[in-house]
């Protein structure tokens, strides 16, 4: 019984580490973290939709990706405006979801989490 916990623990730690932002020296300002690109997201917890407000400096080539807590990609949307509304359809169940803002090369710019209650 005890041996079955080790693979689960290792896969869970790998899953969590994949959500960490890249530690590239070009991605960070020399005197601390840069200004956040996602200024606000609401409502949290969400039921049918969630809004993301972006800083003016967000490039039109950025994409917003949403993953379930087990790592399934739920949504990938290009950021075209300073406000983006994601509709939470029937595939979004109650739970924690992770968002990632990525640039054109796929490098993670920002990440966070929100909750869905249905």
Judged against a pLDDT cut of 90, whether residue 10 lies above it is answered with no
pLDDT attached to residue 87: 97
Residue 46 corresponds to which tokens in the numbers above? 């969400």
Domain of residue 9, CATH code: 2.60.40.10
The range of the structural domain enclosing residue 112 comes to 2-116
Is the peptide bond between 45 and the residue preceding it cis, with omega within 30 degrees of 0?
A: yes
Judged against a pLDDT cut of 70, whether residue 32 lies above it is answered with no
Q: Where are the alpha helices (DSSP H) in the chain?
A: 5-17
Residue 118 CA to residue 110 CA, distance in Å, equals: 26
pLDDT digits (tens, 9 = 90+) for 64-83: 999 999 999 999 999 999 99
Q: How many domains does the chain have?
A: 1
Portion of the chain with pLDDT greater than 70, in percent: 70
């Amino acid at each position: 019984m005890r041996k079955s916990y080790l693979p689960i623990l290792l896969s869970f730690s790998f899953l969590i580490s994949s959500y960490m932002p890249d530690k590239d020296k070009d991605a960070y300002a020399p005197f601390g973290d840069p200004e956040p690109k996602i200024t606000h997201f609401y409502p949290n917890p969400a039921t049918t939709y969630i809004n993301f407000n972006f800083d003016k400096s967000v490039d039109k080539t950025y994409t917003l990706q949403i993953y379930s807590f087990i790592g399934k990609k739920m949504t990938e949307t290009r950021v075209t405006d300073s406000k983006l509304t994601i509709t939470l359809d029937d595939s979004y169940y109650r739970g924690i979801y992770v968002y990632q803002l990525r640039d054109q090369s796929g490098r993670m710019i920002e990440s966070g989490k929100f909750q869905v209650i249905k």
